[in-house]
Amino acid sequence: MTAISSPINLFEYEQLAKTHLSQMAFDYYISGAGDEITLRDNRAAFERVKLRPRMLVDVSQINLTTSVLGQPLQLPLLIAPMAFQCLAHAEGELATAMATASAGVGMVLSTLSTKSLEEVAEVGSKFPNSLQWFQLYIHKDRGLTRALVERAYATGYKALCLTVDAPVLGQRERDRRNEFVLPSGLQLANLVNISGLDIPYEPGESGLFTYFAQQLDPALTWRDLEWLQSLSPLPLVLKGILRGDDAARAVEYGAKAIVVSNHGGRQLDGAIASFDALAEIVPVVDGRIEVLLDGGIRRGTDILKALAIGAQAVLIGRPVLWGLAVGGQAGVSHVISLLQNELNVAMALMGCSNLRDLET
């Protein structure tokens, strides 16, 4: 294979990133659960849908702007919450935050970030319309969870994004084989100085799997959402919805948005592709709350298809890590720019100048 010096798409970034990452880090980022059926199907789902472009439409001006929960975005894109970004680059989440805020897209910061939520918020504060959400895992220690929410609210995050598809961690065999643990010098920046809250070394097992089993609350139910919403005025977003009836419950229990997501194929192997689930969920929600899509986005045409089905915006994950590994902030900026350019061209070729007019 010819060496890639300057990636021109997200797939080439993935190839190049492999040369910049340790085997353990690359496997952690790229792997799915079990046989990785759902991981592969997230991509295949987009490939199954075909487009029918309109001709002789004025597309001399393409408008990619939108809003999510009232916050403006320059294109319908947020960065999904991803743990341990300093495995890819020393600046980790700070580089991602700077790139996303500069581009006018959103960022969801993981509870398990390697830069603190305060540090990341400080980056966002330099941009007037920065959209930053805080992704939350609810720990068995509810006092710890309360403290995280209070810190997120105090530092200016615009929403809480509760991950609901991880009562336990999926069986990620690459991590188990590698005995995944954070390298020396990296830590859970939001949880420092709290006894026992680190990723343990576990012979023959993934340290992250052990952390989830020990620390996160598998007893969480819909009834707990009322308690969570009592902790701050922040709107609640539920990430990990794959069924129409769960989407209806999200509306009933006061969520302001949902993210249709299977956790990037990293939880239940064999679960429906996120994009396939979207078509069931959008009519159930019927515009009462906003619907976003996460999983498998690699091209501008993927974004176009998701929006045409009814998503307000999409989230991307792994490609940001590839950009981060290859070029830090500049790499993440380039990944976003590639998607923006592809979406712009796809809109023009579809005969559509505005996102709200999209249809497949």
Cβ within 8 Å of residue 53, ≥6 positions away: 349, 350, 351
Classified as helix, coil or strand, 97 is helix
Closest by CA to 183, choosing from 22, 14, 328, is: 22
State the DSSP code for 353. S
Which one from 89, 139, 263, 334 is the annotated catalytic residue? Answer: 263
Which uninterrupted H or E stretch holds 228?
helix 224-229
Instruction: Tell me how many degrees the CA angle 333-336-337 measures, rounded to the nearest 5.
Output: 85
Using CA atoms, how far residue 357 sits from 56, 62, 105, in Å, is: 15, 11, 21
In the block, tokens 């899509």 appear at 293
263 is catalytic: yes
Cβ within 8 Å of residue 358, ≥6 positions away: 304, 307, 308, 347, 350, 352
**Encoded amino acid at 241, one letter:** I
Which residues are annotated as catalytic? Answer: 263
